[in-house]
Structure 1
Amino acid sequence: MRVKYALPTAILLMAPAAVVLLILLSVLYGAKSIDAHTVWNAIVHFDKESVDHQIIRTSRIPRVVGALLIGCFLAVSGALMQGMTRNYLASPSIMGVSDGSVFAVTLAMVFLPSNHNLSMIGFSLLGSAFGAFVVFGLAWLIPRGMTPVKLAILGTIIGMFLNGVADAVATYYQISQSISFWYNARLYQMDPAMIKLALPFAIVGLTLAMCLSRSITVLSLGDEMSAGLGQRTGLVKAGAMLAVVLLTGASVALAGKIAFVGLIIPHIARYLVGQDYRWVIPVSGVLGGIFLAFCDVLSRFVNYPFETPIGVVTALFGVPFFLYLIWRRGGGEARG
C-alpha cells in the first residue's frame, strides 16, 4: 500500500518547490528583466512611484497566480470529463465547454454592456453549461456519437460555430477589440479583482470534484458496472458536469479560452498515479498549474523580446499529443 501511494504523494510534496521556482522565473523575467532585490522591495516595501514595483505588483504576480490557478482548473475539468465519459479525447476546449463561455461573454458584452466582473463570471458559467449541453446532447442523438473521435469532431464543429457567431456579432457591434481578450487568452492582462471573484466558484468546483473522485473512479469502469455496484450514475455525471462548468467558466472568465491543458495533463496524471481518481484529480490540478505557468514563462522567450500568445505555446505540446492519442488509440470507445 505504501508503494502504491508513494509516487502521487511524492508529486504532491515536490509540487510547492516547482511552484515557487515558476513564480520566481515569472516575476523576474519578461520583456524587461527585474533583479531579485527589486522584486523583494516591491513585495515588502511597495513604492507606487516605481515603475518596476507597479509591474511586479499589478502585472507579473497576478499573471503567474492566474496561470497556476487556470491550469489547475482546466486540468481537473479534463480529468473529470475523461473519467466520466471514458473518452480519452475529452477536454473543455475540445468539447465546446470553453467555446460556450466565450460565446456567452460576447453576447453579454454586446447586449448588456454595463455588466461588472461578477456578472461576466456568471455569463461565463452559463455559457460553459450551454456549450456542454449542446455538444453532449447532439452526441447522444447521433448513432455512436459518444465515441471519442466523433465526439471530438462534434465538439470542434460546435465550438467553431459558436466562435463564428460570436465573432460576427462582435464585428457587427464593433467590439472586436474588447472581446479579443477572451479569444487570445492574454494572461498579461490578468485582473486581480477578477481572481478574487472567480476563486469561490472554482473552490466549489474543486471541492465537488474531490467529493466525487471515488465515484468517478467507479464510473470510469463503465456505466453498467457502475450501476451494478449500486452507484447512481446520472447523479454522479450531473455533479461532475457541474464541477466542470464551474471550473471552466471561472478559467475562461479570468483569461479567455486556453486549449489542450485539459487534454494533456489528465493523461500524464493517470500514467503516473494509475486510475484512482482520488489521486488523479489532485495530481492533475497540481501538474496543470505547473504546466500552464511553465508555458507562460516559455512564451516570453520563444520570440524574445516579443511575447508569443500562450495558446500557441500550449498548442506546440497539445497538437502532437492529440494526434498521438488518435494514432495510438484509434476512434473506438475508450477503455478503462
Structure 2
Amino acid sequence: MNSSSISKIKKPSLNTPRNFTLVLIICFILLGVCVFASLVLGSRLVGLNEVIDGLFHSNIDSYEANVVRKRISRTVFSLLCGAALGVSGALMQAVTRNPIADPSILGVNTGATLFIVCGIAFLNISTANEYIWLALAGSAITAVFVFGIGSMGRSGATPIKLVLAGAATSAALSSLVLAIMIPRSHVMDEFRFWQVGSVGSGNWSSITTFIPFLIIGILIAIISAPALNALALGDDVATGLGVRTGILRLFAAFSAVLLCGAATALAGPIGFVGLLSTHVMRLILGPDLRFVIPMSAISGAIILTISDVVGRLIGSPGELEVGVVTAFIGAPILIILAMRSKVSSL
C-alpha cells in the first residue's frame, strides 16, 4: 500500500462526525476522572494532599505518598494497555469485517498464553522482554491459524465461522496450557497470577518496554485507517480504488497482533476491552475508522482503568483482578451482539 493508493481512498471517506468534538471532550473528562480515581481509591484511601505529595514532592516519604507513587505507574500502565487493546480490537474487526472480533474471542490471547507457558516451563524465562517476544510469536501464529480455518469453505471468512474457529482454537490451546502446567508446580505458581489478567504488576520498567510496541502499532493503525474504510465496502471495491487488500490486511493484522501480544505479555490475557471500546465508539461516531481507531484507544484506556478501580473496591482489602471485571462486563454484551441479526457482516 503506497501513498498514491491512500490518496485515492480519501475521496470516499466520511466527513468528520458532527458530535466528534463533544465526544472527544467528554472522553478526556472521563479519562481524567478515571486517573484521579485510580490514584485515590483502593484498599487504602488517600486524600488530595497525599496525591499532591506523591506526584510533586519526592522528598516526602510517608506511607500514603508511597502508595500514590505506586499507583501512578499502575495507572499509566493500565492506560497504555487499555489503549493497545482498544486499537487492536478495532483493527481485528476491520480486517476480518467481523463486528464481534476481539483478541480474546479469536483465540489470540490464548496463543500468547501457550507460548509464555512453554517459555516458563522449558526455557526458564522470567523477564518482560522475553515474555513479549514469545507472546508476539504465539499471537501471530494463532491469528494466522484461526483466519485460515475460518476462511475454509465457499463463503470464506464469515463472522460466525471466525468466532467458532477462534473458540475451538482457544479451547484446544487452553488444554495444552493445562497439560504443560499440571505436572510442573513451579510453572503453575509463576503463571497463575499472570493468567487472570492484572495491571497490578505494572511498573516503570514494564511501561518502558511496552511503549515502543504501542507507538509502532498505533501509527500503523492510523496510517491504515483510510484504506480500511475502503475495505469495509468489499474487496472488489477496495481494489478498484487502488488498495492492495492483501498487503493492507497484512499490515493491519501485524499492528493488531503487535498491540495485543505486547499487552498480553505484560498484563495477562485481558478480554473484551477491544470489543467494548470499539463498539461504543462506532455506535456514537459511525463507521469511519479515521475516528473510531484513535477514539477506541481512549475509550479502551478508560474501560480498563475504571475496571481496575472497580476490582480494587470490590475485592478490598485485597483486589479482584481486572481481567475478571472486564469478562464479567463483556460476556453479556458479547451474547447480545451475537444475537443481533446484523452480526453477519460489518
TM-score by length of 2: 0.90
Q: For the Cα contact (< 8 Å) 1:89–1:149, is it kept in 2? A: no
Within the candidate set 207, 223, 230, 2:235 is matched to 223
CA distance in 1, matches of 2:313, 2:40: 13
Q: Tell me what 2:136 maps to.
A: 125
**2:301 aligned with 1:323:** no
Q: Measure how far apart 1:143 and its partner are.
A: 5.1
Given residue 92 of structure 1, which amino acid in structure 2 is its aligned partner? P
- Alignment partner of 1:189: what SS? coil
- Alignment partner of 1:6: what SS? coil
Q: Which moved more, 1:206-215 or 1:272-281?
A: 272-281
Q: Measure how far apart 1:114 and its partner are.
A: 4.4
Q: Tell me what 1:91 maps to.
A: 102
- Alignment partner of 1:94: what SS? coil
1:142 to 1:182, Cα distance in 2 relative to 1, 3 A: farther
Q: For the Cα contact (< 8 Å) 2:107–2:166, is it kept in 1? A: yes
Q: Which moved more, 1:241-250 or 1:109-118?
A: 109-118
CA distance in 1, matches of 2:154, 2:204: 46
- Pairs aligned (count): 333
Given residue 263 of structure 2, which amino acid in structure 1 is its aligned partner? S
Q: Measure how far apart 1:49 and its partner are.
A: 4.9
Q: Tell me what 1:165 maps to.
A: 176
Q: Tell me what 2:127 maps to.
A: 116
* Superposed CA RMSD: 2.1
CA distance in 1, matches of 2:218, 2:265: 17
1:114 to 1:310, Cα distance in 2 relative to 1, 3 A: closer
- Alignment partner of 2:18: what SS? helix
Within the candidate set 22, 25, 40, 1:10 is matched to 22
Q: Tell me what 2:6 maps to.
A: none
CA distance in 2, matches of 1:3, 1:147: 29
Q: Tell me what 2:10 maps to.
A: none
**2:206 aligned with 1:194:** yes
Q: Measure how far apart 1:224 and its partner are.
A: 1.8
Query: Percent sequence identity over matched residues?
Result: 33
**2:192 aligned with 1:185:** no
**2:89 aligned with 1:78:** yes
Within the candidate set 288, 293, 316, 2:305 is matched to 293
1:145 to 1:307, Cα distance in 2 relative to 1, 3 A: farther
Q: For the Cα contact (< 8 Å) 2:128–2:266, is it kept in 1? A: no
Residues 5-30 of structure 1 deviation map (CA, whole Å, 9 limit, x = unaligned): 33223222343322222111111110
1:304 to 1:240, Cα distance in 2 relative to 1, 3 A: same
- Alignment partner of 1:212: what SS? helix
CA distance in 1, matches of 2:69, 2:246: 45
- Alignment partner of 1:259: what SS? coil
Within the candidate set 117, 140, 158, 1:147 is matched to 158
Residues 100-129 of structure 1 deviation map (CA, whole Å, 9 limit, x = unaligned): 111111111122214532222111111110
Q: For the Cα contact (< 8 Å) 1:94–1:155, is it kept in 2? A: yes
Q: Measure how far apart 1:202 and its partner are.
A: 1.2
Q: For the Cα contact (< 8 Å) 2:218–2:255, is it kept in 1? A: yes
Q: Measure how far apart 1:330 and its partner are.
A: 6.1
Q: Measure how far apart 1:261 and its partner are.
A: 0.9
Q: Tell me what 2:5 maps to.
A: none
- 5+ residue gaps, structure 1: none
Within the candidate set 148, 151, 158, 1:137 is matched to 148
- Alignment partner of 2:200: what SS? helix
CA distance in 2, matches of 1:327, 1:91: 17
CA distance in 2, matches of 1:283, 1:326: 23
1:44 to 1:100, Cα distance in 2 relative to 1, 3 A: same
Q: Measure how far apart 1:278 and its partner are.
A: 0.5
CA distance in 1, matches of 2:53, 2:314: 29
CA distance in 2, matches of 1:142, 1:170: 36
1:226 to 1:53, Cα distance in 2 relative to 1, 3 A: same
